[in-house]
Structures are given as structure tokens and as C-alpha cells.
Structure 1
Amino acid sequence: MIGFIVAGLLIGALARLVKPGKQQLGILATLLLGLAGSVIGGTVANLLGTGDIFELNVLGFVVAVIASVALVGVAEGISARSRDKKVER
């Protein structure tokens, strides 16, 4: 379980490095998005038959980073919209 959390943090940090621009996300959001990306990557790898969901493999890692980049983008878009609504008021 601790390894899963560390992997999620690493994947979340890599996703933030890969995504251009400055993200307004804290360490907790990065961890949660990385964990979500890890689950997605592990699930895809499992569905393709390359390993178990909790098993570290190259395909699962790559898919996890890509999924985390997408999740960071979505989170960034949501937070930008909420900031814009606050500015309008």
C-alpha cells in the first residue's frame, strides 16, 4: 500500500512536469490525481494482459502517466473555471 502511494505521488509529479504551464494544484491533489492515474494505468495493463493492476510494468506506468496528465488538465480546467466565477462576482 505504501508503494502504491509513493508510485502515485511519483506519477502525479511526472504528470505535472510533462504538462506545460503552471498548475495551481497542491501536493494532496497531485497525489490523488497520481493515484487515480495509477489505477487507470494498472487497469489498462491488466485488461491487455500485461500484468496485475498492482504490478509495476512499463505499459501500466506509461498509461498511468498519460492518464494523470489528462486528469491534471481536467483539474486545472475546473479550478480555472471556479476562479473565473469568483472574479466575476
Structure 2
Amino acid sequence: MGFITTIFIGLIIGLIARVLKPGNDQMGWIMTILLGIGGSMVATYGGQVLGLYRAGQGAGFIGSVIGAVVLLAVVGALRKR
């Protein structure tokens, strides 16, 4: 997967996660892209630990969005402290 494709998919996943999680999440485009990419990584590695995915197998689109929502909730909880 190319670098531009990764950024684009990260943006889409990050935007969907921000729409699904209620509340005011003040972040720019770059943080939204990083949120989407990080959510995909959380879903992939978390799924491998839980036995949902094999090594080398990536999380799907829905898993990536769920991972991004979880990551967004963690970031929101840390910002409130």
C-alpha cells in the first residue's frame, strides 16, 4: 500500500471515528489522519492478541474504525486529566 493511500484511508477512518464518538474533539487534519492510522494499528495488533487475526493479516475497515474510536476515547480521557 502506498504512502498516499495510507494517508487517505487514515483520514477516512479518522473522520468516521470522530463522527461516531460524541463530544467535541478539537483536532486538525493531521491528528485526524494519525488517529485513523493509529486506530488501524490498534485493531490489527489487538485482534492478533485476541486471536481474531493471524500474523501478517490486517484488520478490516470496520475493525479499524472501532480501533480509532477506542483510541479517540483514550485520548479524550487523557486530555481531561
- When normalised by structure 2's length, the TM-score is 0.73
Identity of aligned residues (%): 39
**3-state SS of 2:25 partner:** coil
Instruction: Within 5 Å, give how 1:10-21 maps onto structure 2.
Output: 10-21=12-23
Cα distance in 1 for residues equivalent to 2:80 and 2:42: 25
1:65 aligns with 2:65: yes
Q: Which has the larger radius of gyration?
A: 1
Gap runs ≥5 in structure 1: 54-58, 82-89
Aligned residues: 74
Question: Shift of the alpha carbon at 1:15?
Answer: 0.2
Instruction: Within 5 Å, give how 1:29-40 maps onto structure 2.
Output: 29-40=31-42
Question: Shift of the alpha carbon at 1:8?
Answer: 0.5
Query: Which aligned runs of 4 or more in structure 1 are off by greater than 6 angstroms?
Result: none
